[in-house]
Structure 1
Amino acid sequence: MKKQLRKLKILEIDPWLKPFKNELNIRMEEYEKNKKKLLENHDSFKDFANGHLYFGFHEVENGWIYREWAPNANELTLIGDFNDWNLDSHPLSKKENGVWEIFIPGKDSLYHGCRVKVKINSMGKTLHRIPLYIKRTIQNPISHDFSGQIWKEKDEFNWSDQDFKVKNEPLLIYESHIGMAQEKEDYGTFKEFEKNILPRIKDAGYNTVQLMAIMQHPYYGSFGYHVSNFFAVSSWFGNPTELKELVNTAHSMGLNIIMDIVHSHAVKNIAEGIDEFDGTTTQFFHEGLKGIHPAWDSKLFDYSKPEVIHFLLSNIKFWMDEYHFDGFRFDGVTSMIYDHHGLGVNFDNYEKYFNDTVDMDAINYLQYANELIKEIRKDAISISEDMSGMPGMALPIECGGIGFDYRLSMGVPDFWIKLLDKKDENWSMYDIWYELTSLRPKEKRITYVESHDQALVGDKTLFFRLADQEIYWHMEKSDKNPIIDRAMALHKMIRFITITLSGEGYLNFMGNEFGHPEWIDFPREGNNWSFKYCKRQWSLGDNLDLKYNYLKKFDKDMIYFTKINHILETSEVKDLWLDDTKKIIIYKKNDLIFLFNFHPTDSFEDFRFPTHEASDYKVVFDSDAEIYGGHERISRKVIYSPKQLHEFNKSTGISIYSPSRTFLVLKKID
């Protein structure tokens, strides 16, 4: 008898998926079957994901209990400052299912700041490892090795954000890295970020802070993406209490705060990380080459193992409960969901999403992760970093989707990079329109012009690409320079057309809003461990004599304009005019008309286009204002009245002056 396929709403949302209804049904069958197994003794994922409340170090009435999961180990012994690193005095007892446990009598037997490790004998090897669920690790300044550290706050942290509710209005995300957020040539700290950067983000109009590199990583230059200790706060920037203070302050300012979570891979370091914790390579990761990422040189999780799912889901709950994060941006999703990790694959047709290269276990894990996040907090945020465009990534699970709230529009930054390699006169308005309006049906997008990767050495930010070396010599407001003029004009136009046309949320990497002039180069052997380029020069944007200040002012007003006009709250956009010869793009959103003139030289004194309605219009925002470094060629006082346009079959429209390399926004006058 032929198996009856269920009706999935995703097939109605995207009819192109109908040939793959069998594969989508298998996805949901696997999700439900494995969920049932995982939750056999639990009511929900929220009830299931409590590994951090059982494993690790826990103070009890008359001492401490320490537990680990090390199924293939022969012997575990706790060592540390508390017992003068005695290798034999504190052995753990083996319980069922690979669990090890020790009770240490005395409230003060483990004390605040006490360094700890666990000695593991397995497979004929003796390893000194950092406990899996440790909340803090520190590095010895002399030997440079890492140890776990007991973090026991004197008093329970006094949160004051009980009434905070996530701003799920359109997300305006300020992506940040704590360590390089300061102007000094040194590591930035949680306290400095709280004091100096949060007010900047608030003043700039963004409503969400996205923090990179929060999970402990032994190599600073990894940008935080080679995680070693999944439950530990990055010691590069401070301690757990200081991170809590930062989050609490952000909430008091009305800011959402989310973090990059890295569940796509882990650092392969044995001494610092979780690799070979119990003496085997397969405790957390796939066996052999399947367990190694060929491009990242890191370890790949085996999502088919219930213990791995338990570890990772507990990690999600931990960061939400312990530190009050409002959600996550999941890193490396493409790598997770395909055996080929997206390397060298062009996702140019739907068959690329439904074949034997897809890791169904990874997809199911992401569904469980999103279900858990919503169980913990219905208003929490989840964002997927997937460059493949997997259909359903940001659709509800019950529809047949993977459950993210948003997907990053990763193709948009790549598009702008490629476009900037062409001469301005060869830019296609049709290509711009297509790239910025293409979307998966009903899936919300976070759009952005440039990623943090483009700010790294070996690449260039948008403004650096546009201005090149002139950025070093011609950024004083009194200095007239055609290359800088072009760079500033296009910087404003590209950012504005991206935020208004291509998403339901927007992201900016810190400093890029004012055209930060230099790349990021983390301290490394090749630069003699210098911090010279691992900082943000906020003083450039603040300096009223420099053109960076024009761009800073523009970005602030752009963010404000999108908010008060609810531009990101609708995907509905009407194409009014595309002209590849004159390099004109005109579209309507809500009651606003957006006119972009990308022509490098030509301004149009009497540019006529149809509006299809008998309404007066007035310019309410433009890129050519003097306060943004423009030439003040656009009047905000003129009323543009409707007229019949004979060249458009007597359609109703207006005539307007459109200067080269500018945009303007017209608003209907009631």
Structure 2
Amino acid sequence: MNLYTNDLDIYLYHQGTHYHSYKFLGCHPREKGYQFTVWAPNASVVEITGDFNDWTGKDHQLQRVSKNGLWSGYYSNIPPNSAYKYQITPKNGPAFLKADPYAFQAELRPLTASLTPSHDKYMWNDQKWESNKKNYNPYESPILIYELHLGSWKTKEDGSYYSYRELVNELIPYVRKLNVTHIELLPIAEHPLDISWGYQTTGYYAPTSRYGTPSDLKFFIDQCHQHNIGVIIDWVPGHFCKDEQGLRQFDGEPLYEYKDPKKAEKRSWGTLTFDFGRPEVQSFLISNAIYWMEEFHVDGLRVDAVASMTYLNFDRDDNEEKLKNGLGGDQNLEAIAFLKKLNEVVFEFFPHALMMAEDSSDLPKISHPTDHGGLGFNFKWNMGWMNDLLTYMEYDPVYRKWHHNLLTFSMMYNYSENFVLPLSHDEVVHGKRSLLNKMPGDQWQQFANLRLLFGYMIVHPGKKLIFMGGEFGQYIEWRDQHQLDWLLFDFPLHESLFHYTKTLFHFYLHQPALYKYDHKPNGFQWIDADNNDQSILIFLRKTSNESEDLLVICNFTPEVYHGFKVGVPYAGAYKEIFNSDAACFGGSDQRNFFLHEPIFEEWHHQKQHIKVTIPPLAVSVFQKIEEGFL
């Protein structure tokens, strides 16, 4: 037995600063065999067990190589793709089996062992994409994300999953047609329970074997990049599941989780919280973020449930005893420090990464740099905008005028963070109904309202995200055990909605005013924010180039208005360049087919106005195309 452990690796790992710890922990091909290294400070004996020794651990015992509990060993008689676990004998008690926390591949559930990796190295072909990222400014670029769950987006006729490689021919042409810039995959790290969707993880370094091998996933991401589609994955550093093969009491004692059960337990999810203050846990999690970007060329991470990490009493009832930090507050200072460190390290290695916080709290400066007092993410999901807008849209249009502030309030805080506007899976599951089914009115009004919802998301400042199925009007809420209702494309209203969605997204990609100044106050100007009686909003989306500016009119009622006066800031002829009520989208075709010359009479605090037709339950967009006649 030869040992390949390095004193510097050991030191940095135990300091919480080894950001490539996956390169020496776990199982690695070395010459003609494998090197195994695992952290188990409370163990008295650690052995490798698998088919190669009849699951006895015989002749495959590891040596302790650090006083803080690293164990390591090299063996040449273990073949590739062998199932293995660590057999850990604690200082007090019987031996038990654990999967490898750093395993790069795991058995297909319900089997739970880790697999020794192959000796093959994947050859990437996305050099152009990776090179272009060096000049990429995400803040001034369009970002339009299609969030999906690989297991229920589409299945084969027998109900089985498409593999990563098969999805290349199924998914990539579809999302290219849809005109999105990125896909976001619900967690794809290995997980035992299908209905957890990957949010309760056992193998942080192992892409789930449900859809194939790690090389298969690399091929899928490679192909996405070659077709100009970015890939974001949901990442879950806040908690992990309690399955016996996983991280829970890994060496017989709390190790990855807090020792204090009050801090460790995530009762609402039945999971355990990572001990963010422990150096080895920091090395494990930060290395994992780096791993996905370095080894799989992932473009960004959507970090799940940030509020559950930053607040000690996240899921404690009001009448329960509250946990406090050392300063007497309820923030988890260790988790906050960890998130800052995470983002600093990620951007040191990958300056153009997307680090997106799914955060439901009012903690300030989530998307501000750490040297400005922030957590260091570069984007934050705007949960307030999402909740307000969906609440508003569910009202019958007759009553919307009493809730007009739900539409406008988001602009009061829009520039406090770099926001993503999410219409995510969380809003269409567990009895919440699909987006289409949330909309009030008869069938025509439901589809018009959904077109309006998507249209308002696109014209509102912020990057965009929709969940699979919304784009063609899935009637039934998301069911993780069933594929999307693709048969709906046989019905004209659904086909027309898909045509609308892809056209709307194409429009967004080619209008700099809709994305360039998302995070700058000079990119937005109200024309009329106060017309609650008619439930109409009018505003400008702007750039530094007046010819690119857009005049946006949103009508949240089914009323049609002809000759409606709209104040405009510039003298010139205005042309309608987009209308969600067009007949080809399933609308009533109340459009503006001719140029609108300005009338030099003050209106809406502007020196001139135009008179337009405002379609029902619709978004219409105008642009000045030439100077008007005096």
2: CA distance, partners of 1:91 / 1:70 = 13
* Residue of 492, 504, 515 corresponding to 1:558: 504
For residues 365-404 of structure 1, the aligned pairs below 5 Å read: 365-404=338-377
Instruction: Encode CA deviations 1:362-403: one digit per residue, 9 max, x unaligned.
Output: 111111111121122211111000011321110111212111
**Structure 2, unaligned runs of 5 or more:** 1-7, 319-324, 543-548
Instruction: Encode CA deviations 1:461-512: one digit per residue, 9 max, x unaligned.
Output: 2102227xxxxxxxxxxxxxx7111011111111111221141x10011121
Per the alignment, residue 515 of structure 1 pairs with: 473
Per the alignment, residue 596 of structure 2 pairs with: 640
* Residue of 504, 527, 532 corresponding to 1:576: 527
Per the alignment, residue 113 of structure 2 pairs with: 147
* Residue of 214, 228, 231 corresponding to 1:257: 231
Query: Offset at 1:344?
Result: 6.6
Name the SS of the counterpart of 1:57 in structure 2: strand
Name the SS of the counterpart of 1:641 in structure 2: coil
Query: Offset at 1:331?
Result: 0.4
1: CA distance, partners of 2:456 / 2:316 = 30
1:182, 1:193 within 8 Å by CA — same for their partners in 2? no
2:566, 2:603 within 8 Å by CA — same for their partners in 1? no
Q: After the TM superposition, which of the residue ranges 123-132 and 547-556 deviates more from structure 2?
A: 123-132
Per the alignment, residue 94 of structure 1 pairs with: 64
Call closer, same or farther: CA 1:391–1:440 in 2, change over 3 Å: farther
Query: Offset at 1:415?
Result: 1.7
Query: Offset at 1:644?
Result: 3.1
**Structure 1, unaligned runs of 5 or more:** 1-37, 346-351, 468-481, 523-530
- Give the counterpart letter for 2:293 in structure 1: M
Q: Confirm or deny that 1:425 pairs with 2:391.
A: no
* Residue of 201, 210, 213 corresponding to 2:187: 213
Q: Confirm or deny that 1:160 pairs with 2:125.
A: yes
Query: Offset at 1:343?
Result: 6.1
Per the alignment, residue 596 of structure 1 pairs with: 554
Call closer, same or farther: CA 1:41–1:276 in 2, change over 3 Å: closer
Instruction: Encode CA deviations 1:327-371: one digit per residue, 9 max, x unaligned.
Output: 2000010100000126678xxxxxx9x971111111111111111
Call closer, same or farther: CA 1:492–1:452 in 2, change over 3 Å: same
For residues 164-563 of structure 1, the aligned pairs below 5 Å read: 164=129, 165-166=132-133, 168=138, 169-184=141-156, 185-271=159-245, 273-341=246-314, 356-428=329-401, 430-439=404-413, 441=415, 443-448=417-422, 450-466=423-439, 483-503=442-462, 505-522=463-480, 531=481, 534-541=482-489, 543=490, 545-563=491-509
2: CA distance, partners of 1:232 / 1:49 = 17
2:267, 2:315 within 8 Å by CA — same for their partners in 1? no
Instruction: Encode CA deviations 1:248-291: one digit per residue, 9 max, x unaligned.
Output: 101111111111110010001122x1111111124433421210
Call closer, same or farther: CA 1:40–1:269 in 2, change over 3 Å: closer
* Residue of 545, 568, 578 corresponding to 1:611: 568
2: CA distance, partners of 1:593 / 1:633 = 17
Per the alignment, residue 586 of structure 2 pairs with: 629
2: CA distance, partners of 1:561 / 1:60 = 52
Query: Offset at 1:404?
Result: 0.7
Call closer, same or farther: CA 1:85–1:432 in 2, change over 3 Å: same
- Give the counterpart letter for 1:558 in structure 2: L
Per the alignment, residue 131 of structure 1 pairs with: 100
Per the alignment, residue 322 of structure 2 pairs with: none
1:266, 1:300 within 8 Å by CA — same for their partners in 2? yes
Which consecutive aligned stretches of 4+ in structure 1 deviate over 4 angstroms post-superposition? 38-43, 342-345, 646-650
2: CA distance, partners of 1:308 / 1:86 = 29
Query: Offset at 1:585?
Result: 0.8
Per the alignment, residue 28 of structure 2 pairs with: 58
1:258, 1:329 within 8 Å by CA — same for their partners in 2? yes
Query: Offset at 1:441?
Result: 3.3
Query: Offset at 1:62?
Result: 4.4
Q: Confirm or deny that 1:117 pairs with 2:85.
A: yes
- Give the counterpart letter for 1:412 in structure 2: W
- Measured on the aligned residues, the alpha-carbon RMSD in Å equals 2.5
2: CA distance, partners of 1:420 / 1:619 = 25
Instruction: Encode CA deviations 1:376-435: one digit per residue, 9 max, x unaligned.
Output: 221111100001132111011121211111000112222233224433122147414423
Call closer, same or farther: CA 1:40–1:170 in 2, change over 3 Å: farther
Instruction: Encode CA deviations 1:172-202: one digit per residue, 9 max, x unaligned.
Output: 1111111112143333321232220111111
1:180, 1:188 within 8 Å by CA — same for their partners in 2? no
Query: Offset at 1:438?
Result: 3.5
* Residue of 538, 544, 550 corresponding to 1:586: 538
1: CA distance, partners of 2:10 / 2:249 = 29
- Give the counterpart letter for 2:38 in structure 1: E
How many residue pairs are counted as aligned between the two chains?
587
2: CA distance, partners of 1:248 / 1:46 = 31
Query: Offset at 1:579?
Result: 0.9
TM-score by length of structure 2 reads: 0.88
Query: Offset at 1:646?
Result: 6.3
- Give the counterpart letter for 1:118 in structure 2: Y
Query: Offset at 1:46?
Result: 12
- Give the counterpart letter for 1:654 in structure 2: I
Instruction: Encode CA deviations 1:514-555: one digit per residue, 9 max, x unaligned.
Output: 111222333xxxxxxxx4xx21233433x3x42111111111
2:142, 2:508 within 8 Å by CA — same for their partners in 1? no
Call closer, same or farther: CA 1:79–1:262 in 2, change over 3 Å: same
Name the SS of the counterpart of 1:251 in structure 2: helix
The percent of aligned pairs where both chains have the same amino acid is: 25
Query: Offset at 1:84?
Result: 2.5
Per the alignment, residue 608 of structure 2 pairs with: 652
Query: Offset at 1:647?
Result: 6.7
2: CA distance, partners of 1:46 / 1:79 = 29
Query: Offset at 1:626?
Result: 0.9
Query: Offset at 1:654?
Result: 1.1
2:365, 2:374 within 8 Å by CA — same for their partners in 1? yes
2: CA distance, partners of 1:343 / 1:407 = 24
* Residue of 33, 38, 51 corresponding to 1:81: 51
Name the SS of the counterpart of 2:151 in structure 1: coil
